[in-house]
Amino acid sequence: MKILHTADWHIGKKLQKHELKEDFDLFIEWLCATIKSHEIEVLLVSGDIFDLANPSSEARTQYYKALLKLRNLNCKIILTGGNHDSPAMLDAPQEILRNLDIEVIGGLPKDISQTLIPVKNKAGNLEFIVAALPYLRDTDLRKGNEGVSYDDRLEAIREGIASKFNAAAEICKTSYPNIPVIAMGHLYAAGIETSDSERDIQIGNQAAFQASQFGEYFKYIALGHIHKPQRVNALVPTFYSGSPIPLSFSERKDEKRVLILDTSKSWEPESIPVPSFRKLIRISGNLAQLTDNLYNLPDNDGLDHLIEVVLKEPKYDVQKIYQFDQLTSQFEKNGYQIVKNFTDFDENLQGTSALYESNQQLEDLKPKDVFIKLVDQQDLDQEDKQDILSAFDEILEEVQNPINS
């Protein structure tokens, strides 16, 4: 049978307040075409279906529309919950979706055997079992009296993860002898690369799970949580498919992909690149370089490319900050949007606490005295300094003596 592994859809995700709804819709269109062309029979989605535990109505609508499109391809669908997902929300329509041959395991059930999903071929014969383990929360892994110290808690979590996968394997050995088993998981495995958009799980990712603890019983382990696609050093083929679309600027260079297995040939997957629907661009330099690079971007008639702009200068300069703000706020070019900007000075401006002797108290300082010291750090001529101080005097007067309307 042919199986497609994907994960980390993060429906409802916003990148710096910019909606990625269109990106996901285009991915689903491409995914449907890929399932058709490769004659995929089983789709595995390993967690983080949504970006928020309480997704918006628009995100939920997008989720159900995507499932219906995929269901129309006569493909069995198995989804598990991730650390971003609400188990209760995913599990609520479980019975209805099961009648559509869509299996959803939002949270770990009390009986772990309920995570075991038999998959039959077109002839009706049992082909393999999927151990669809969702994200395992601390309450799933530790007893109330375990983990008194921080290190104890970490070890309890690692042992808890291993015990759940081992329990699923033991049931399969007894109930489905000689039948291949695929495991799904949503966790942080040791020794892999992360990106900025992955929310910490299991005590800040310190409880990194050693992939060797998966053992060698499972034929393939389909993981989610890490957005950069990569193989895990385990005893059996174990892969993060990665997120299908970039979710942060740190992922802008990732080659997004899905993984396809053909069980008649091998348990090693084939990597299928997901097309780039929009680019995430990072531009850095001084003001002149930024201006030149921004206005010489090539034409784009697809989804708006999103830009992160970084002003890099040797010395802190309030005038350059103002000019940078004007450049980014007034930038207009079809097919592009600046969604993030910040400054990076080699010599940062001292904070007010560093401007005064340690024996001076905050209540002893006058606002204008503090401001004058800050202005004196700037590379300004006397006329500009006087203009700035005059403007400060006007603002201070309004604050201290407001006019009642």
DSSP 27-90: HHHHHHHHHHHTT--EEEEES--BSSSS--HHHHHHHHHHHHHHHTTT-EEEEE--TTS-HHHH
Which pLDDT band holds residue 364 (cuts at 50, 70, 90)?
Answer: low
Residue type, 25: D
Least confident range from 60-64, 154-158, 304-308: namely 154-158
CA dihedral 140, 143, 147, 153 (to 10 degrees): -10
Mean pLDDT of the region 203-230:
84
Share of the chain above pLDDT 90, in %: 69
Q: Flag whether pLDDT at 203 surpasses 50.
A: no
Structure confidence by residue, pLDDT tens digits, 23-32 = 999 999 999 9
Q: 77: closest CA among 24, 8, 3? A: 3
Give the distance from CA 351 to its chain's centroid: 34
Q: What is the pLDDT of residues 77-98, one digit of tens each?
A: 999 999 999 999 999 999 999 9
Closest listed residue to residue 57, CA positions, set 21, 102, 103: 21
For the 2-273 domain, the top CATH level (class) is alpha beta
According to the model, what pLDDT value does residue 212 have?
87
The answer to whether 229 and 240 have CB atoms below 8 angstroms apart is yes
Instruction: List the alpha helices (DSSP H) in 102-149.
Output: 138-141
Amino acid 379: pLDDT: 67
* Mean pLDDT of the residues in the chain: 88
* CB atoms closer than 10 angstroms to residue 398: 10
Read off the pLDDT of each residue in 118-142 and give the average, rounded to a whole number: 92
Residue 192's pLDDT is 57
For 278-348, CATH number?
3.30.160
277-288 CB burial, b ≥16 within 10 A, e <16: bbbbbebebebe
Does 352 have pLDDT greater than 60?
A: no
Q: What per-residue confidence (pLDDT) applies to 79?
A: 98
Q: Looking at residue 106, what is its pLDDT?
A: 97
Q: Using CA atoms, how far apart are residues 304 and 114, in angstroms rounded to an integer?
A: 44
For residues 9 and 319, which has the higher predicted lDDT (pLDDT)? 9
DSSP state of 162: H
Residues 6+ apart with CB under 8 A from 218: 131, 165, 169, 181, 182, 183, 236
Query: Residue 284 pairs with which residues in a beta bridge?
Result: 310
Provide the token pair at 384: 């500009």
pLDDT tens column, 280-304: 999 999 999 999 999 999 999 999 9
Q: What pLDDT is attached to residue 204?
A: 47
Residue of higher predicted confidence among 370 and 298: 298
Q: What is the pLDDT at residue 399? A: 74
CA dist list (Å): 188 to 135, 140, 159, 356, 383? 10, 16, 14, 46, 58
Delimit the CATH 3.30.160 region(s) of the chain.
278-348
| Residue limits of CATH 3.60.21.10 in the chain | 2-273
pTM of the model: 0.82
In this prediction, residue 290 carries a pLDDT of 96
The stretch 176-194 carries a mean pLDDT of: 86
With contact defined as beta carbons under 8 Å apart, do 226 and 197 qualify? no
Give the pairing of strands 126-132 and 116-120. Answer: antiparallel
